[in-house]
Amino acid sequence: MIKYIIVDDEPLAHDVIESFCELLPHLSLEKHCYNAMEAMQYLNNNTVDFMFLDINMPKLTGFDFLRTLTNPPKIIVTTAYKEHALEGYELNVSDYILKPFSFDRLVKAINKAISEVPKNSAIPIVSDGAQQKSRLFLKGDKKYHQIHLDDILYIEAYGNYSKVFLKDEMIVSHEKISSFEGLIPCDNFLRVHKSFIVAIDKIKQIEGNRISIDSHKIPIGQTYKSNISNLYNS
Protein backbone atom coordinates (compact mmCIF):
# COMPACT_ATOMS: atom_id res chain seq x y z
CA MET A 1 0.00 0.00 0.00
CA ILE A 2 1.02 3.61 -0.62
CA LYS A 3 0.94 5.30 2.78
CA TYR A 4 0.04 8.91 3.50
CA ILE A 5 -0.95 11.23 6.34
CA ILE A 6 -2.98 14.44 6.49
CA VAL A 7 -1.59 17.40 8.44
CA ASP A 8 -4.22 20.15 8.74
CA ASP A 9 -5.91 21.93 11.62
CA GLU A 10 -9.31 21.94 9.85
CA PRO A 11 -11.36 18.75 10.32
CA LEU A 12 -13.33 19.54 7.15
CA ALA A 13 -10.11 19.44 5.11
CA HIS A 14 -9.38 15.98 6.51
CA ASP A 15 -12.86 14.82 5.51
CA VAL A 16 -12.52 16.09 1.93
CA ILE A 17 -9.07 14.63 1.35
CA GLU A 18 -9.93 11.31 2.92
CA SER A 19 -13.18 10.97 0.96
CA PHE A 20 -11.33 11.62 -2.31
CA CYS A 21 -8.48 9.25 -1.49
CA GLU A 22 -10.89 6.48 -0.56
CA LEU A 23 -11.84 6.36 -4.25
CA LEU A 24 -8.27 5.45 -5.20
CA PRO A 25 -7.04 1.87 -4.68
CA HIS A 26 -3.80 1.13 -2.81
CA LEU A 27 -3.77 4.40 -0.86
CA SER A 28 -3.70 3.92 2.90
CA LEU A 29 -4.38 6.78 5.32
CA GLU A 30 -2.08 6.17 8.28
CA LYS A 31 -2.80 9.16 10.52
CA HIS A 32 -4.92 12.29 10.96
CA CYS A 33 -2.66 15.04 12.36
CA TYR A 34 -4.29 18.30 13.41
CA ASN A 35 -1.09 20.24 14.07
CA ALA A 36 2.57 20.09 13.14
CA MET A 37 3.70 18.80 16.53
CA GLU A 38 1.42 15.80 16.24
CA ALA A 39 2.79 15.07 12.76
CA MET A 40 6.38 15.47 13.93
CA GLN A 41 5.85 12.96 16.71
CA TYR A 42 4.27 10.48 14.31
CA LEU A 43 7.03 10.79 11.70
CA ASN A 44 9.71 10.30 14.34
CA ASN A 45 8.52 6.70 14.68
CA ASN A 46 6.86 5.94 11.34
CA THR A 47 7.44 6.36 7.63
CA VAL A 48 4.95 7.29 4.90
CA ASP A 49 5.27 7.86 1.17
CA PHE A 50 3.70 11.32 1.10
CA MET A 51 1.67 13.74 3.18
CA PHE A 52 -0.91 16.43 2.61
CA LEU A 53 0.31 19.53 4.43
CA ASP A 54 -1.54 22.73 5.28
CA ILE A 55 0.50 25.93 5.73
CA ASN A 56 -1.39 28.02 8.28
CA MET A 57 -1.53 26.04 11.48
CA PRO A 58 -1.20 27.17 15.12
CA LYS A 59 2.18 27.19 16.94
CA LEU A 60 4.20 25.87 13.99
CA THR A 61 3.41 26.61 10.35
CA GLY A 62 3.51 23.90 7.73
CA PHE A 63 6.67 25.22 6.11
CA ASP A 64 8.47 25.72 9.43
CA PHE A 65 7.52 22.15 10.30
CA LEU A 66 8.84 20.96 6.93
CA ARG A 67 12.19 22.63 7.61
CA THR A 68 12.57 20.57 10.81
CA LEU A 69 12.41 17.26 8.92
CA THR A 70 15.71 15.74 7.85
CA ASN A 71 14.15 13.10 5.61
CA PRO A 72 10.61 14.22 4.82
CA PRO A 73 8.19 12.20 2.71
CA LYS A 74 6.93 13.72 -0.52
CA ILE A 75 4.76 16.76 0.20
CA ILE A 76 1.47 17.90 -1.33
CA VAL A 77 0.67 21.35 0.05
CA THR A 78 -3.05 22.04 0.46
CA THR A 79 -3.82 25.66 1.26
CA ALA A 80 -6.11 28.60 0.57
CA TYR A 81 -3.13 30.95 0.09
CA LYS A 82 -1.52 31.05 -3.35
CA GLU A 83 1.09 33.64 -2.35
CA HIS A 84 3.27 31.01 -0.64
CA ALA A 85 3.67 28.83 -3.75
CA LEU A 86 7.22 29.95 -4.56
CA GLU A 87 8.39 29.23 -1.03
CA GLY A 88 6.80 25.81 -1.29
CA TYR A 89 8.67 24.87 -4.44
CA GLU A 90 11.91 26.18 -2.93
CA LEU A 91 11.30 23.57 -0.22
CA ASN A 92 10.95 20.95 -2.96
CA VAL A 93 7.28 20.13 -2.45
CA SER A 94 5.78 17.78 -5.04
CA ASP A 95 2.73 19.93 -5.66
CA TYR A 96 0.91 22.98 -4.32
CA ILE A 97 -2.87 22.94 -4.62
CA LEU A 98 -5.36 25.59 -3.60
CA LYS A 99 -8.48 24.95 -1.54
CA PRO A 100 -11.14 24.20 -2.56
CA PHE A 101 -9.74 21.68 -5.03
CA SER A 102 -11.41 19.13 -7.29
CA PHE A 103 -10.94 15.38 -7.28
CA ASP A 104 -9.12 15.61 -10.62
CA ARG A 105 -6.68 18.17 -9.24
CA LEU A 106 -5.96 16.02 -6.20
CA VAL A 107 -5.29 12.96 -8.37
CA LYS A 108 -2.77 14.95 -10.45
CA ALA A 109 -0.96 15.94 -7.26
CA ILE A 110 -0.90 12.34 -6.03
CA ASN A 111 0.46 11.18 -9.39
CA LYS A 112 3.32 13.66 -9.10
CA ALA A 113 4.12 12.62 -5.54
CA ILE A 114 4.02 8.90 -6.34
CA SER A 115 6.25 9.31 -9.41
CA GLU A 116 8.88 11.02 -7.22
CA VAL A 117 8.92 8.42 -4.44
CA PRO A 118 12.37 6.73 -4.29
CA LYS A 119 12.56 3.12 -5.35
CA ASN A 120 13.42 1.97 -1.83
CA SER A 121 10.17 3.39 -0.50
CA ALA A 122 7.06 1.64 0.74
CA ILE A 123 5.42 1.36 -2.68
CA PRO A 124 4.31 -2.28 -3.07
CA ILE A 125 6.51 -4.61 -5.12
CA VAL A 126 5.57 -7.65 -7.12
CA SER A 127 5.64 -10.93 -5.27
CA ASP A 128 8.71 -12.38 -7.01
CA GLY A 129 10.88 -9.61 -5.62
CA ALA A 130 11.39 -7.92 -8.99
CA GLN A 131 12.14 -4.24 -9.27
CA GLN A 132 9.56 -1.93 -7.77
CA LYS A 133 7.25 -0.29 -10.27
CA SER A 134 6.08 3.28 -10.34
CA ARG A 135 2.43 3.86 -11.04
CA LEU A 136 -0.12 6.55 -11.64
CA PHE A 137 -3.88 6.95 -11.74
CA LEU A 138 -5.56 7.79 -15.05
CA LYS A 139 -9.11 8.99 -15.46
CA GLY A 140 -10.84 7.23 -18.31
CA ASP A 141 -14.32 5.91 -19.00
CA LYS A 142 -15.63 7.58 -15.79
CA LYS A 143 -13.21 5.53 -13.70
CA TYR A 144 -9.71 5.93 -12.31
CA HIS A 145 -7.35 3.23 -13.54
CA GLN A 146 -4.15 2.45 -11.69
CA ILE A 147 -1.46 2.07 -14.35
CA HIS A 148 1.96 0.52 -13.91
CA LEU A 149 4.40 2.53 -16.00
CA ASP A 150 6.15 -0.68 -17.04
CA ASP A 151 2.96 -1.71 -18.83
CA ILE A 152 2.81 1.36 -21.08
CA LEU A 153 3.86 0.74 -24.70
CA TYR A 154 3.17 4.22 -26.04
CA ILE A 155 0.84 7.20 -25.73
CA GLU A 156 -0.99 8.81 -28.65
CA ALA A 157 -2.62 12.25 -28.73
CA TYR A 158 -6.38 12.06 -29.29
CA GLY A 159 -7.67 15.62 -29.53
CA ASN A 160 -7.94 16.95 -25.96
CA TYR A 161 -7.50 13.38 -24.72
CA SER A 162 -4.83 10.71 -25.08
CA LYS A 163 -4.84 7.02 -25.90
CA VAL A 164 -2.61 5.05 -23.55
CA PHE A 165 -1.62 1.74 -25.12
CA LEU A 166 -0.76 -0.93 -22.57
CA LYS A 167 0.36 -4.52 -22.96
CA ASP A 168 -3.19 -5.86 -22.74
CA GLU A 169 -5.52 -2.89 -23.28
CA MET A 170 -5.95 0.69 -24.43
CA ILE A 171 -7.32 3.45 -22.20
CA VAL A 172 -8.62 6.79 -23.42
CA SER A 173 -7.31 9.21 -20.81
CA HIS A 174 -8.65 12.68 -20.01
CA GLU A 175 -5.06 13.99 -19.93
CA LYS A 176 -3.56 15.80 -22.91
CA ILE A 177 -0.36 14.28 -24.24
CA SER A 178 1.59 17.32 -23.04
CA SER A 179 0.49 16.56 -19.48
CA PHE A 180 2.06 13.11 -19.62
CA GLU A 181 5.53 14.60 -20.01
CA GLY A 182 5.19 15.89 -16.45
CA LEU A 183 3.65 12.69 -15.11
CA ILE A 184 5.95 9.99 -16.44
CA PRO A 185 9.72 9.66 -15.88
CA CYS A 186 11.82 10.93 -18.78
CA ASP A 187 14.46 8.21 -18.38
CA ASN A 188 12.29 5.59 -20.11
CA PHE A 189 9.81 7.63 -22.15
CA LEU A 190 10.59 9.70 -25.22
CA ARG A 191 8.57 12.14 -27.29
CA VAL A 192 9.09 11.03 -30.91
CA HIS A 193 6.30 13.00 -32.58
CA LYS A 194 3.97 15.82 -31.60
CA SER A 195 1.31 13.13 -31.15
CA PHE A 196 3.34 10.23 -29.74
CA ILE A 197 5.38 9.34 -26.65
CA VAL A 198 6.98 5.88 -26.59
CA ALA A 199 8.44 3.64 -23.89
CA ILE A 200 12.09 3.31 -24.88
CA ASP A 201 12.49 -0.22 -23.55
CA LYS A 202 9.50 -1.40 -25.64
CA ILE A 203 11.05 -0.34 -28.96
CA LYS A 204 11.61 -3.38 -31.15
CA GLN A 205 12.90 -1.68 -34.30
CA ILE A 206 13.65 1.74 -35.78
CA GLU A 207 13.44 1.84 -39.55
CA GLY A 208 13.33 5.03 -41.57
CA ASN A 209 10.69 7.28 -40.02
CA ARG A 210 8.92 4.48 -38.13
CA ILE A 211 9.31 2.84 -34.74
CA SER A 212 8.04 -0.69 -34.20
CA ILE A 213 6.58 -1.62 -30.81
CA ASP A 214 4.97 -5.04 -30.84
CA SER A 215 2.71 -4.89 -33.90
CA HIS A 216 2.33 -1.11 -33.74
CA LYS A 217 4.05 1.36 -36.09
CA ILE A 218 4.70 4.81 -34.62
CA PRO A 219 5.80 7.72 -36.83
CA ILE A 220 8.88 9.79 -36.04
CA GLY A 221 8.32 13.54 -36.38
CA GLN A 222 10.88 15.61 -38.29
CA THR A 223 11.65 17.82 -35.28
CA TYR A 224 12.11 14.78 -33.01
CA LYS A 225 14.65 12.86 -35.12
CA SER A 226 17.55 14.02 -32.95
CA ASN A 227 15.85 12.45 -29.92
CA ILE A 228 15.84 9.11 -31.74
CA SER A 229 19.42 9.36 -33.00
CA ASN A 230 20.59 9.99 -29.45
CA LEU A 231 19.36 6.49 -28.56
CA TYR A 232 21.82 4.68 -30.81
CA ASN A 233 24.58 7.27 -31.00
CA SER A 234 25.09 7.56 -27.24
- Dump pLDDT digits (tens) for 117-176: 654 333 333 333 333 447 778 877 777 788 888 899 999 999 888 999 998 899 998 888
pTM comes to 0.59
Nearest Cα to 168, choosing from 143, 183, 181, 150? 150
**Nearest alpha carbon to residue 154 among 179, 110, 188:** 188
**Tens digits of residue pLDDT in 76-115:** 999 988 888 888 888 889 999 999 888 889 998 998 888 8
Residues 94 and 177 in one domain: no
Spatial separation of the C-alpha atoms in residues 77 and 83, rounded to whole Å: 13
Cβ neighbors of 124 (< 8 A, separation 6 or more) are 1, 2, 26, 132
Residues 110 and 173 in one domain: no
What is the Cα–Cα distance from 10 to 43, expressed in whole angstroms? Answer: 20
| pLDDT tens, residue by residue, 20-31 | 999 887 899 999
**Mean of all residue pLDDT scores within the chain:** 86
Give how far Cα 95 sits from Cα of 7, 10, 24, 141, 160, Å.
15, 20, 18, 26, 23
| Confidence label for 233 from pLDDT (cuts 50, 70 and 90) | low
153 and 189 in a single domain? The answer is yes
pLDDT cut 90: percent of the chain above it: 53
Residue 52 three-state SS: strand
Whether residue 25 is found in the same domain as residue 102: yes
One domain for residues 83 and 7:
yes
Domain that holds residue 173: 141-233
